[in-house]
Amino acid sequence: MMKRYLSMACLSLALGTTSVAWADTLYKCQGPDGRTTYTNQKGKSCEIISQDKPISTFNSPAPKPKQATPADFPRVNGDQQKARDNDRRAILEQELANEQRNLEAAKKTLTEQEGLVMPEERIVGGGIQTVKRDERLQSYRDKIKLHERNIESIRKELTNLK
């Protein structure tokens, strides 16, 4: 029965819900293989960790107290902040344009490389060794993915500015 309450308390803690369960006595036991187990039944090399105490879980930790801003903390007025935001937006838009150009160049390079068959990729008889070819092309594909991720991140930042 105790194992059920303990299991429910642990599950409750994992799910972030509130519950209270009563435990008669809870033991922490060290097995011969070095494993630690928790039970309501006393055994060899066990120690009491809880006795007739409620086990309680809560939805979230207590909120941290809000810290006051120091009086000498530098302040920025609304116009200054708007100017900073506009500068940041312009920089991000320039970075976005650069990444889009880099993406297009990377796609073009990949297309060119896909059209090439290197001597080490050829098989006697006219075929192509696709494994060696795929290994060679993978770095070009990776560059494309990198530029796509960068574009996505910059767009996300621009969206957050608006």
Q: Is the pLDDT of residue 133 over 90?
A: no
* Residue of higher predicted confidence among 61 and 95: 95
Question: Which pLDDT belongs to residue 96?
Answer: 96
Q: Structure tokens of 97?
A: 């344009």
User: Is residue 1 very low, low, confident or very high in pLDDT (cuts 50, 70, 90)?
Assistant: very low
* Segment 98-126 mean pLDDT: 90
95 contacts: CB under 8 Å, gap ≥ 6: 154
Which SS3 state, helix, strand or coil, does residue 50 take? strand
47, β-bridge pairs: 28
The residues spanned by each domain of the chain are 2-57, 92-161
Give kind and range of the element (H or E) at residue 2. Answer: helix 2-15
* Residue of higher predicted confidence among 1 and 120: 120
Highest mean pLDDT of the ranges 71-80, 85-94, 126-135: 85-94
Question: Which pLDDT belongs to residue 19?
Answer: 43
How far, in Å, CA of 38 to CA of 137, rounded? 54
How far, in Å, CA of 69 to CA of 81, rounded? 18
Is the entire prediction scored with pTM above 0.85? no
Highest mean pLDDT of the ranges 24-28, 52-56, 151-155: 151-155
* Residue of higher predicted confidence among 64 and 8: 64
CA distances for 162 relative to 77, 81, 96, 137, 146, angstroms: 18, 13, 16, 39, 25
Which residue type does 155 have?
R
- Is residue 19 packed enough to be buried (19+ CB in 10 Å), middle (13-18) or exposed (0-12)? middle
Place of tokens 């090399």: 45
Q: Structure tokens of 141?
A: 């594909």
Question: Which pLDDT belongs to residue 18?
Answer: 45
